Amino acid sequence: MSTATIIESRTALVKSLAHEAGFDYCGISKAEFLEDQAPLLEEWLKAGRQGKMGYLERNFDKRLDPTLLVPGAKSVVTLLYNHYPPEALPKEDNFHIARYAYGQDYHKVIKEKMRALMEMIQEQVGEVEGRIFVDSAPVMERSWAQKSGTGWIGKNSLLLTKESGSYFFIAELITDLELNPDGPMPDYCGTCTKCIDSCPTEAITPYQVDGSRCISYFTIELRDEIPDEVKGKFENWIFGCDICQEVCPWNRFAKHHQESKFLPDEELLSMNISDWQNLNLESYQRLFKGSAVKRAKYEGLKRNIEFVSRDQ
């Protein structure tokens, strides 16, 4: 069997196993320096669009070169996992949290599936080295997702798919396994600017988000007081924000996920503004045990609630 045939067979196997493991999309790129992203990242950082997210300023070279993260890497396997919920939290008389945070922390859920996939690959192929990444380490996940053809980067800077929109978690397996790369997908945003027009804090310019102005940054990453200049602009979002996804025409094709671990607790579904405003530490710990909301911490979530409550 020729080397080309072996690589083709292994590529098909990896994609088949990815779907068997529950992932919705699987795309492959050659593990090489992201040359086209280097000047864009440098410009974004120099403009201060990372705000106080200092970790984005570190490991510049590693963000662009996967072989610095995994020596001997030959392929970057990108995987998408749907998180669009079958039931959204009530809009009326309520504050909002991003849909991805309804259930258990995606880092743990997806990493578990990635480990299972890695084991499946090793069982079928033999000795394979690699590392898995789920929104962790300096990996430019959306760039790899676009390069691997799983979708395109929309004007809101999120990965979009024609079949299912943008409600996906992105994970990578950087491996020494040589696989056939997929090509990038064309941009299908066209002349649409709904995400740009709908952002309350004007954080979005075409294909780029000013992280220091994004509601998700203010409600999750920022540890200081939220500046008064954005008062009245949060539209009741207290953890993350889905506005630019809610207005995106491609999300009319979003399909409900089948992951029980991402379903919201019944207590969370029944919350209203008064419940949020009276949230105490005990209730917070019970309601968000094992949740991504824990990233904001109790004090941060209370700060967000109090900030948004000024508009009531």
pLDDT tens by residue, 198-246: 999 999 999 999 999 999 999 999 999 999 999 999 999 999 999 999 9
Q: Are 105 and 291 in contact (CB under 8 A)?
A: yes
Mean predicted lDDT score pLDDT of the chain: 95
Per-residue pLDDT at 37 exceeds 70:
yes
Residue 231 in domain:
yes
Q: Which of 275, 256, 293 is nearest to 90 (CA)?
A: 275
- Residue 29 sits at φ, ψ, to 5 deg, of -130, 155
Same domain? 74 vs 211: no
Provide mean pLDDT across the span 105-130.
Answer: 95
Per the structure, how many domains does the chain have? 2
Above pLDDT 70, what percent of the chain?
100
**What pLDDT is stored for residue 164 in this prediction?**
97
**What pLDDT is stored for residue 54 in this prediction?**
86
Q: Which of 190, 207, 217 is nearest to 53 (CA)?
A: 217
pTM: 0.95
- Which of 93, 105, 135, 228 is the catalytic position? 135
Domain boundary among 110, 144, 175: 175
Q: For residue 53, what pLDDT band results from cuts at 50, 70 and 90? A: confident
Same domain? 165 vs 241: no
Domain boundary among 114, 148, 175: 175
Strands of the chain (E only): list them. Answer: 25-30, 75-82, 96-97, 130-134, 152-153, 159-160, 168-175, 204-205, 208-209, 237-239
Per-residue pLDDT at 311 exceeds 90:
no
Query: What would the pLDDT profile of 267-289 be if each residue is shown by its tens digit?
Result: 999 999 999 999 999 999 999 99
Q: Which of 219, 212, 180, 210 is nearest to 307 (CA)?
A: 219
Same domain? 170 vs 35: yes
**Whole-number CA gyration radius for the chain:** 20
Q: How far apart are CA 118 and CA 150, in angstroms?
A: 20
Same domain? 32 vs 163: yes
Where in the sequence is the domain holding 125, given as residue range(s)? 3-88+99-175
Q: For residue 312, what pLDDT band results from cuts at 50, 70 and 90? A: low
The one-letter code for the residue type at 246 is E
Same domain? 61 vs 208: no
- Residue 117 sits at φ, ψ, to 5 deg, of -65, -45
Query: What would the pLDDT profile of 129-183 be if each residue is shown by its tens digit?
Result: 999 999 878 899 999 999 999 999 999 999 999 999 999 999 999 999 999 999 9
Burial annotation 269-288 (CB, 10 A radius, 16+ → b, else e): eebebebbeebeeeebeebb
**What pLDDT is stored for residue 223 in this prediction?**
94
Domain boundary among 175, 203, 222: 175
Q: Are 8 and 180 in contact (CB under 8 A)?
A: yes
Most confidently modeled range among 35-39, 50-54, 90-94, 98-102: 98-102
Same domain? 206 vs 241: yes
Same domain? 15 vs 131: yes
135 annotated active-site: yes
Same domain? 152 vs 225: no
Q: Tokens representing 192?
A: 């649409």
Same domain? 71 vs 216: no
**What pLDDT is stored for residue 58 in this prediction?**
87
Above pLDDT 90, what percent of the chain?
89
Q: How far apart are CA 82 and CA 225, in angstroms?
A: 33
**What pLDDT is stored for residue 269 in this prediction?**
95
**What pLDDT is stored for residue 278 in this prediction?**
97
Instruction: List, in sequence order, the alpha helices (H) in 225-277.
Output: 243-246, 266-269, 273-277
List of residues 6+ apart from 61 with CB closer than 8 A? 68
Count Cβ atoms below 10 Å from residue 229 Cβ, excluding itself: 9
Residue 219 in domain:
yes
**What pLDDT is stored for residue 59 in this prediction?**
87
DSSP β-ladder status, 75-82 and 96-97? unpaired
